[in-house]
Amino acid sequence: MVDTGRSRVFGEVAEVYDAARPAYTDALVAEVLAYAAPGGRGCAALEIGAGTGKATVPFAEALGRASGGAATELVCVEPDARMAQVLRRNTENRPGARVRVHVGAFEDWRPDGRDFGLAFAATSWHWTDPRRRWDLVHEALAPGGALALFWNPQGVRDPALHSALAAVDRRHGVTGAPHGVLASSFGEVPGHWAGLPAAWPEDECRRDGRFTDLRAVRYRQDLSYGTDRYLGCLASLSGYRVLPAARRAAALAETAEVLDAHGGGIPMTLFNDLFLARTR
């Protein structure tokens, strides 16, 4: 069963989450829409666990362009009302698909007879109930409709910095920090995330049997965070949100000290790993 308590801690820092979390590459958005061909299959799309709109905004804009000016709609299901508030602000009065926000769990949402040509989840599929999610998304998609699941894990490029930060994490019981994994430990295959939770959906999808044309694509880019930006990113992660406030503050302060001692900031590699499938 999914840990719904841990999955809904992000709303405590919705603004920090929105400002600090990395975006998804435009190439990923283009790949998904080329696969889904929404202009020829119907314009309605569904986003599962939209958060503050890190993926919603570029997808809404791209869906609007793909529709050739026809009315198009993106329905966003987000369980946390605080995140949904930022999502609404980020998507109102923007060009592209009309965004409708539904506040509630994906497991409680129903398509009410609508068939969606595309459903996607940006770093949120692992928060859904594994016993029900394939049934629910299959119910929502039209025959031949596309499913896109993607994540943006990161790894630190500097082994010495990785080691120093790992010592801070051990002292404070932090788990799942991006700097806890070396970028060099990532394999070449999408979904190969050494040391990270096993979230890659391909095996589950194959066992389900109702989807076909399975594909996997990886994008990567090197980037550097300043200390403040990186601390904001960490503060928005569930591994930090579940810590007692005093311990979280101490862990972040010590992390800042390590980063400053290494010249300030942190060099990372960002991976955008994409899984695609369509209903038979």
Q: Minimal CA–CA distance to 146: which of 44, 22, 15?
A: 44
In whole numbers, what is the pLDDT of the chain averaged over residues?
Answer: 90
Cβ neighbours of residue 185 closer than 8 Å, sequence gap 6 or more: 155, 194, 195
Banded model confidence at residue 176, pLDDT cuts 50, 70, 90: confident
Q: Does residue 32 sit in the same domain as residue 171?
A: no
Q: Does residue 240 sit in the same domain as residue 132?
A: no
Could you read off the pLDDT of 206-250 as tens digits, one per residue? 999 999 999 999 999 999 999 999 998 898 888 898 899 999 999
Q: Does residue 119 sit in the same domain as residue 146?
A: yes
Report the pLDDT value the prediction gives residue 261, as an integer from 0 to 100. 93
Query: Count of domains in the chain?
Result: 2
Banded model confidence at residue 136, pLDDT cuts 50, 70, 90: very high
Q: Does residue 252 sit in the same domain as residue 191?
A: no
Is this structure's pTM higher than 0.85? yes
State the DSSP code for 182.
B
- Asked which of 4-8, 11-15, 215-219 is least confident by mean pLDDT, the reply is 4-8
- Asked which of 100-104, 114-118, 203-207, 237-241 is least confident by mean pLDDT, the reply is 237-241
Could you read off the pLDDT of 182-199 as tens digits, one per residue? 999 998 889 887 554 557
Q: Does residue 28 sit in the same domain as residue 119?
A: yes
C-beta neighbour count of 267 within 10 angstroms: 15
Q: Does residue 88 sit in the same domain as residue 173?
A: no
Q: Does residue 22 sit in the same domain as residue 107?
A: yes
Report the pLDDT value the prediction gives residue 1, as an integer from 0 to 100. 40
Q: Minimal CA–CA distance to 238: which of 66, 80, 76, 89?
A: 80
At residue 130, the 3 state secondary structure works out as coil
Q: Does residue 89 sit in the same domain as residue 104?
A: yes
Q: Does residue 80 sit in the same domain as residue 215?
A: yes
The string over 203-230, giving b where at least 16 C-beta atoms fall within 10 Å of a residue's C-beta and e elsewhere, is eebeeeeebeeeebbbbeeeeebebeeb
Q: Does residue 148 sit in the same domain as residue 211?
A: yes
- Asked which of 37-46, 113-122, 247-256, 261-270 is least confident by mean pLDDT, the reply is 37-46
Q: Does residue 59 sit in the same domain as residue 198?
A: yes
Output the six-digit token pair for 215.
Answer: 């594909």
Q: Does residue 79 sit in the same domain as residue 143?
A: yes
CATH value at residue 75: 3.40.50.150
**By residue range, what is the domain housing residue 253?**
155-184+225-267
Could you read off the pLDDT of 252-268 as tens digits, one per residue? 999 999 999 999 999 99
